[in-house]
Amino acid sequence: MKAENRRPVRKKTEGGPSFPTQRLQALLDELISDNYDHQKCITNLKEHTECHDFLFYTLKSLSIIVKKHNKESVTEVYMNNLMLVLEQMNIPDATDSLIVCTKLFREEKDKDGKKITSNSKLNLSYPKAKRAINTIWNEVISYPLTGSLYRRCLILIPEKVMHHLEKPIRLTGFFMDAYDLGGALSLLALQGVFILVNKYNLDYPNFYQKLYGLLEPTIFHAKYRPRFFMLMDRFLSSTHVPEYVIAAFIKRMSRLSLSAPASCLILILKFIANLLIRYPGLQLLIHNPDATNLEDDPFDPDEPDMSKCRACESSLWEVATLQQHVVPSISKATGFLEKTLPIMEYDISELVEATYEEVHEKSCKLIVHETVATTFHKPTGLFTHHDDKMSDDWCVL
Amino acid sequence: MAKRSKFKPKTGGKAHNRAAEKINPFEIHVNRSKHDVLGRKRKEDRGLPGIARAKALKKREKTLLQEYKTRHKSNLFVDRRIGENDPTLDPEKKIALRLAAVKTKHANRKSMFNLNDDDFLTHGGKTLDDDNIDDRMAFSDDEDDQVLDAQFVKERHFAGGFLTKRETGDEEKPKSKKEWIDEIIAESKKKKAEAKKDKEEQYEAVSKLDANLNTFLMMMSGKTIKDEDKLEAKKNCEFRDYDTLVKELGFDRTGKAKTSSKLKTPEELIKEEKEKLLALEADRVRRMKGEPEPSKHTSRSADDLDDGLIFTEDDRFHLSYKDGAMLEEEKGNDDNDPENDNKSMDEEGAEDEETENEDEGVDSDLEDGDDLEDDESDKYSDIFDEESGDEDNDNENDTQETEKTKDHSVAGDKRKEIMEAARKEIPYTFEVPQEYDAFWALLENRSPKEVSVILERTIACNHPSLGAQNKDKFEDLCTYILQTLNVLTEESGDSPVRGVPPMSYVDVLIPHLYTVTQACSSGVANSFRQFVFLKVAGVLFPSSDYIHPVMTPVITFLSQLLGQAKVNTKRDITAALFTSYLLYEYLSMSKRFVPELPNALNGLLSLSIEAKKKVKLPINPPFKRFGAASSLLLLENNIEEETLPKLSLASLNDKGKEITDNFKVNVLSKTVKLLHCLCDCWSKLPSVKALMEPTAKILEAICLDHYPSSLKEMITGLKSAIDCLPGPKQALVKEAKKPKSLKMYEPAIERVIEGMKKSVGTKDFQEKQKLLQKLKRERKGAKREIQRDTAFLARQQLMETLQSDAERKRKVNQIMAGLQSQESDHKKLKLKKF
């Protein structure tokens, strides 16, 4: 397999300016097989995709392969292989593609010891490549995708592919389908939608509503937590978002903090503080001398509509509760309730990946002084000491 | 000198007074004032220049002239004999004064080296007088000076001598000096003789004792002392007195602080104890709030109860009675005596050891026999206390005291039997072993009670107050105990004695661990960071502190456990419940908040709900809505009313037991109970209602059909408690800041007084001006004085020159006259001849 893998390089050097398209097509056909997982070999392709001529011809032949392939007989292995190949390719931008292409190609030649100046004969054009990409991806999103493939697509498309497509708006349907699947997928889908809204003028009124719906207790245990918070920070940084939406988000987050793990609490608190700094009008949530004689918290956590959940009339009692949190660093992070908010926002990029282990390690770093405080009631047993609450229900044996 | 003479007459002689009154009006010089102010008295409006000049002249004659006259002389003779210059003194008085002066001079020379005349050197709270040092053997004769009694010396030598005597006793004829001195000498000789006699007697007695001891030792050399001997010796009253005396002496050495505390009544002691605890509690509350320490006062720890006992060289430090039983102090003191004697001997070095052992061996052995009873009974009473403590948990120190005394009287007989058996096996002193294996070997084949005794003795022998190096040993000991705990509580934990469950040792180890922690908290704290014994940590360290090097990591670890550990088996459920209980215990004092705790309890509750019902319930990870282990505790059969057993720590170690219905009910009831406790604990938190809402929802979903009625009641109780929780009454308001006051300057207040020259400038400047003016005036005055001095001297020199000239002239005249008469005589003779 490896030998087969080397072949394009060899062929290329022999063939000179004319690229061995036939051989490459055969190779790719073999790699993207229906029933065998070629993961190792495909990852080896990566070093070759750095040469743009190889990349160009790969794209071309891929588009042919994808077109030829029967839609009904798509297997998971096939999709995996295809996706892997696609992930290997780092398509350069349109502006500098030609120049860089030729240059790289020549260097490749130099390396092989044959100094043939053949720039003029190359016909690597970006429009052609773009066309190839479009055909490939149009096919890909029309396939039925599994969960993990969906996830890979959703990561790959907004980051690498989207700006090469002719009509990105076409992806909206794809993203919406992904959102409806729930969980981490909906979050990743939202990222794509956000880019569409932001750059391609997509009018999508329910965007924040959907984001609000994603805020569930499980989000703190999800694998994509850091990405989610970074994205949410970006989504909410818009100046055109109405205040009631932000208020609802703040209140929802603070409500979630009552059941969030200790590792996320600092992040949540700093996030809330950042939002309050961004929207000074919302500081009513932490300082509202007019609202007295309340019966209960006016905020309705079960209401999915942000305009009806009455978050603006509420107050951040949850943060006040967290002032009593056991971990000292968390209870200190609630300081913005009493002190004036800073002018600069907090940097949350380091906090998004905090784990329980880090919290524990940090607390272990406390220095033991000579005068460590100890208890002052002599115990007589494990469950029989001064302020024991467990002896009613627990015994040693 | 002084230009302005004083008009006020001197209070001295009357003649002077009269002279001052009759001042010649022509001598008065009046200074004319340019602007007369009515009512103002001026000091310098008149002067007496003549008188002033005469005064100045007189003064110069006394001082300057004298100096001038002796200007060529390098030495001079001053008569400093006392009373020689005073013609009013009569000769006897003169002599007395001189004698007194001589005595004081002597006294000064001696007292030069006395640091403090009033304070005496002390030792063990007693003055170091001759009375107290009876056994001091002053065989040398070169200390004769000190033979004179201090009192005698004080009376006769210094206290005024016969001068005072004469003043007090008027009728007696005063003794002459010679009589006086004779008396002194006689007295001192008498004292000297007495002292010598005493000394000899003492020496004789000591040498006799020495001889007796030698023979005694010879006699005893072949024998070893057995227990029966000791008992017999104890009965023998001859040594009782000696023993009590030794005890008293030993007790005296501890200083005055103890004796004073011993005099207190039990009520006072209890009160004091309470105050101490109150102070410690206040300190704990301060730490809970995370406030900084109020003063620079560095308390060793929150539990520094022992009044600096560690720092004193008190060998009789005893551990089991640290706080409570001051009444038993004496007993406790004696208990450790034999051990401590041995210990102190070890420290005194190898050379002395042998001889001392010989000397003290007899005594301490006898003592041992005496003390054995008390010793044993005390040690075992501890264990009994522990047992009774197990039964009733809230055994406060106050009550402990009374209980102990009860124990002594009631269980005395039984104990003696057990004692006899155990005493033969357990030695009294233990070294801290070098390795853990050796430590384990010590405990092998011992019952829990014996282990306790061993540990107690080890601690007593190696307490840090007995030596600095013991601190390291204590840290070792701590690690050993923790390691032992680890072994005991492991799943396959082996027990020191076969058949005895290893967990039964845990309770025994805890109090000793506590004692070790008290003695060296930082060492233990350090080792606790390595293996976190979650529950033990809470026993030893305060859980309510805002931040604590041991407890903060422990609590974060507990919350991590609750937040991440998945619950799949029976053991997991028990562990989760245990962790929750533990966390609640640590939080209950400070009422701090941990989100993981209600989360985990909600999850535990949800385990007894059908999977179908759970779809909309707020169940958070690590618990799952669906899956194999999601309904572990679902009850399917009806359960009758049953007593629910206590959950045991040991059950954490056995895996994969069947989940019985009883267990299901038990877990549910415990969870509900804990949630109820949490409700109460956190009722002051502002969003407690929102916090408990999920719990209420889950409780609603639990199907109560199969459960016993008591559990149903508990659940409805919890529901109503959640319903009654107060919602937030008021929106958050930031604390109003104090208005910032404007910056103010100091008010410029000037003193304006009419008729005075206005002074300008700052206070310092004015002061300086004043001083400068004064300096100028002084300089002027000094200059004038110097001028006058020079004038005076010039006048003096002129006078001397004139005088010497006149003298010369007179002498010349005289000579010339002589010559003339000679010449005339010669001429007359010549005329006669011719």
pLDDT digits (tens, 9 = 90+) for B581-604: 878 888 877 888 888 888 888 888
Does the pLDDT at position B38 exceed 50? yes
Name the residue type at position B583. Answer: L
In angstroms, the Cα distances linking A51 to A16, A57, A262, B562, B782 are 15, 10, 47, 52, 108
pLDDT of residue A332: 86
- A235-277 pLDDT, tens digit per residue, is 888 878 888 889 999 988 888 888 888 888 888 999 999 998 9
In angstroms, the Cα distances linking B648 to A69, A273, B627, B664, B669 are 65, 45, 28, 15, 15
Average pLDDT of span A169-173: 73
pLDDT of residue B489: 64
- B305-318 pLDDT, tens digit per residue, is 444 333 333 333 33
Q: Which residue has the higher pLDDT, B278 or A388?
A: B278
Average pLDDT of span A14-22: 51
Q: Which residue has the higher pLDDT, B575 or B784?
A: B784
Average pLDDT of span B820-833: 93
| Sequence-separated contacts (24+) of A33-38 with Cβ below 8 Å | A33/A77, A33/A78, A33/A81, A34/A73, A34/A75, A34/A77, A34/A78, A35/A75, A35/A77, A36/A77, A37/A77, A37/A80, A37/A81, A38/A1, A38/A81, A38/A84
In angstroms, the Cα distances linking A333 to A220, B59, B547, B555 are 18, 88, 15, 18
Q: Residues in chain A, how many? A: 397
Phi, psi of B124 (to 5 degrees): 60, 35
Phi, psi of B215 (to 5 degrees): -65, -40
User: Which residues of chain B make contact with A318, given a CB cutoff of 8 A?
Assistant: 687, 690
Does the pLDDT at position B390 exceed 90? no
DSSP reduced 3-state for B746: coil
- B247-303 pLDDT, tens digit per residue, is 777 665 554 444 444 566 767 777 887 788 788 878 777 777 776 665 444 444 444
Token code pair at residue B711 = 């559990």
Give the span between the Cα atoms of A293 and A315, in whole angstroms: 13
pLDDT of residue B775: 97
pLDDT of residue A227: 82
User: Which residues of chain A make contact with B551, given a CB cutoff of 8 A?
Assistant: none
Does the pLDDT at position B198 exceed 90? yes
With a CB cutoff of 8 Å and minimum separation 6, the contacts of B23 are: B48, B51
Binary contact (B385, A389; C-beta < 8 A):
no
Does the pLDDT at position B519 exceed 90? no
Give the span between the Cα atoms of A119 and B806, in whole angstroms: 142
Binary contact (A376, B729; C-beta < 8 A):
no
Minimal Cβ distance to A321: which of B522, B564, B685: B685
pLDDT of residue A386: 59
pLDDT band, very low/low/confident/very high, at A375 (cuts 50, 70, 90): confident
Token code pair at residue B134 = 């009876």
pLDDT band, very low/low/confident/very high, at B827 (cuts 50, 70, 90): very high
Q: What is the complex's ipTM, to 2 decimals?
A: 0.73
Contact status of A360 with chain B (Cβ, < 8 Å): yes
Q: What percent of chain B has pLDDT over 90?
A: 13
User: Which residues of chain A make contact with B581, given a CB cutoff of 8 A?
Assistant: 389-390, 393-394
pLDDT of residue B478: 74
Beta strands in chain A (DSSP E): 394-395
Contact status of A251 with chain B (Cβ, < 8 Å): no
Minimal Cβ distance to A373: which of B277, B301, B535: B301
User: Which residues of chain B make contact with A218, given a CB cutoff of 8 A?
Assistant: 620-621
Interface of A with B in 177-236 (CB under 8 A): 217-218, 221
Of A203, A383, A13, A169, the residue nearest B395 (C-alpha): A383
Considering the entire predicted model, what is its pTM? 0.54
pLDDT of residue A102: 45
Least confident of A54-68, A222-236, B437-451: A54-68
3-state secondary structure B647-687: EEHHHHCCCCCCCCHHHHHHHHHHHHHHHHHHHHHCCCCCC
CA angle B660–B666–B668, rounded 5-degree value: 110
Q: What percent of chain A has pLDDT over 70?
A: 55
Minimal Cβ distance to A391: which of B393, B687, B727: B393
Average pLDDT of span B81-107: 85
Does the pLDDT at position B170 exceed 50? no
Contact status of A264 with chain B (Cβ, < 8 Å): no
Average pLDDT of span A121-145: 63
Binary contact (A356, B650; C-beta < 8 A):
no
Most confident by average pLDDT, B152-161, B201-210, B746-755:
B201-210
Give the span between the Cα atoms of B70 and B472, in whole angstroms: 81
Of B248, B331, B287, B205, the residue nearest B592 (C-alpha): B287
CA B662 to chain centre: 58
Q: Which residue has the higher pLDDT, B257 or A351?
A: A351
Angle subtended by helix axes B161-168 and B91-111, to nearest 10: 120
Largest CA distance in chain B: 193
Look over chain B and give the mean of its residue pLDDT values, rounded to a whole number.
Answer: 70
- B222-231 pLDDT, tens digit per residue, is 666 666 666 6
Query: Exposed, middle or buried by CB within 10 Å (0-12, 13-18, 19+), for B497?
Result: middle
Binary contact (B539, A218; C-beta < 8 A):
no
Contact status of A301 with chain B (Cβ, < 8 Å): yes
Most confident by average pLDDT, A370-374, B16-20, B735-739, B770-774:
B770-774
Binary contact (B690, A258; C-beta < 8 A):
yes
Binary contact (A292, B731; C-beta < 8 A):
yes
pLDDT of residue B408: 45
Strand partners, A395: B648
Does the pLDDT at position B137 exceed 80? no
pLDDT of residue B244: 74
Binary contact (A381, B596; C-beta < 8 A):
no
Q: Which residue has the higher pLDDT, B748 or A131?
A: B748
In angstroms, the Cα distances linking B559 to A292, B66, B554, B781 are 35, 101, 9, 91
DSSP reduced 3-state for B522: helix
Look over chain A and give the mean of its residue pLDDT values, rounded to a whole number.
Answer: 71
Binary contact (B518, A374; C-beta < 8 A):
yes
pLDDT of residue B205: 93
Minimal Cβ distance to B302: which of A221, A290, A376: A376
Peptide linkage before B622 cis (omega within 30 of 0): yes
Most confident by average pLDDT, A8-12, A127-131, B319-323:
A127-131
Contact status of A371 with chain B (Cβ, < 8 Å): yes
Does the pLDDT at position A174 exceed 50? yes
User: Which residues of chain B make contact with A260, given a CB cutoff of 8 A?
Assistant: 595
Name the residue type at position B205. Answer: A
Binary contact (A294, B728; C-beta < 8 A):
yes
- B641-670 pLDDT, tens digit per residue, is 666 777 776 666 666 667 777 788 888 888
User: Using an 8 Å Cβ cutoff, are B479 and B472 in contact?
Assistant: no
- B605-619 pLDDT, tens digit per residue, is 888 877 777 767 777
Give the span between the Cα atoms of B62 and B680, in whole angstroms: 100
Binary contact (B599, A395; C-beta < 8 A):
no
For strand B122-123 and strand B46-47, is the pairing parallel, antiparallel, or unpaired? unpaired
pLDDT of residue B425: 52
Binary contact (B646, A376; C-beta < 8 A):
no
pLDDT of residue A72: 56
pLDDT of residue A50: 57
Binary contact (B510, A381; C-beta < 8 A):
yes
Q: Chain B residue closest to A260 (CA)?
A: B595
pLDDT of residue B826: 94
CA B170 to chain centre: 56
Task: Please tell me the distance in Å from A368's CA to the nearest CA on chain B.
Answer: 6
pLDDT of residue B308: 38
Least confident of A226-235, B288-297, B503-512: B288-297
Q: Which residue has the tokens 């629910």?
A: B644
Phi, psi of B300 (to 5 degrees): -60, -45
Of B157, B288, B261, the residue nearest B551 (C-alpha): B288
Give the span between the Cα atoms of B228 and B235, in whole angstroms: 11
DSSP reduced 3-state for A329: helix
pLDDT band, very low/low/confident/very high, at B430 (cuts 50, 70, 90): low
Name the residue type at position B421. Answer: A
- Buried b or exposed e, range B615-632, using 16+ CB within 10 angstroms: eebbbbbbbbeeeeebbb
With a CB cutoff of 8 Å and minimum separation 6, the contacts of B227 are: B369
Q: Chain A residue closest to B320 (CA)?
A: A378
Least confident of A181-195, A347-361, B705-719: A181-195
Give the span between the Cα atoms of A166 and A132, in whole angstroms: 11
Most confident by average pLDDT, B207-216, B441-450, B697-706:
B207-216
Task: Please tell me the distance in Å from A319's CA to the nearest CA on chain B.
Answer: 9
Q: Residues in chain B, how many? A: 834
Does the pLDDT at position A169 exceed 80? no
Q: Which residue has the higher pLDDT, A54 or B30?
A: B30
Binary contact (B588, A369; C-beta < 8 A):
no
- B451-468 pLDDT, tens digit per residue, is 777 777 777 777 766 666
For chain A, the straight-line distance linking the first and the last C-alpha, in angstroms and rounded, comes to: 63
Task: Please tell me the distance in Å from A4's CA to the nearest CA on chain B.
Answer: 46
Task: Please tell me the distance in Å from A377's CA to the nearest CA on chain B.
Answer: 8
Give the span between the Cα atoms of B495 and B504, in whole angstroms: 9
Contact status of A325 with chain B (Cβ, < 8 Å): yes
Task: Give the residue from A253, A300, A316, A321 with the most B CB atoms within 10 Å of its CB, the best one to mutate.
Answer: A321
Does the pLDDT at position B6 exceed 50? no
Give the span between the Cα atoms of B528 and B522, in whole angstroms: 10
Average pLDDT of span B326-337: 37
User: Which residues of chain A make contact with B559, given a CB cutoff of 8 A?
Assistant: 261-262, 326-327
User: Using an 8 Å Cβ cutoff, are B722 and B695 in contact?
Assistant: yes
pLDDT of residue B83: 80
pLDDT of residue B795: 94
Give the span between the Cα atoms of B539 and B550, in whole angstroms: 12
Does the pLDDT at position A157 exceed 70? yes
Does the pLDDT at position B243 exceed 90? no
- B756-811 pLDDT, tens digit per residue, is 676 678 889 989 999 999 999 999 999 999 999 999 999 999 999 999 999 999 99
Q: What is the dihedral of CA A284, A285, A287, A288, to 10 degrees?
A: 70
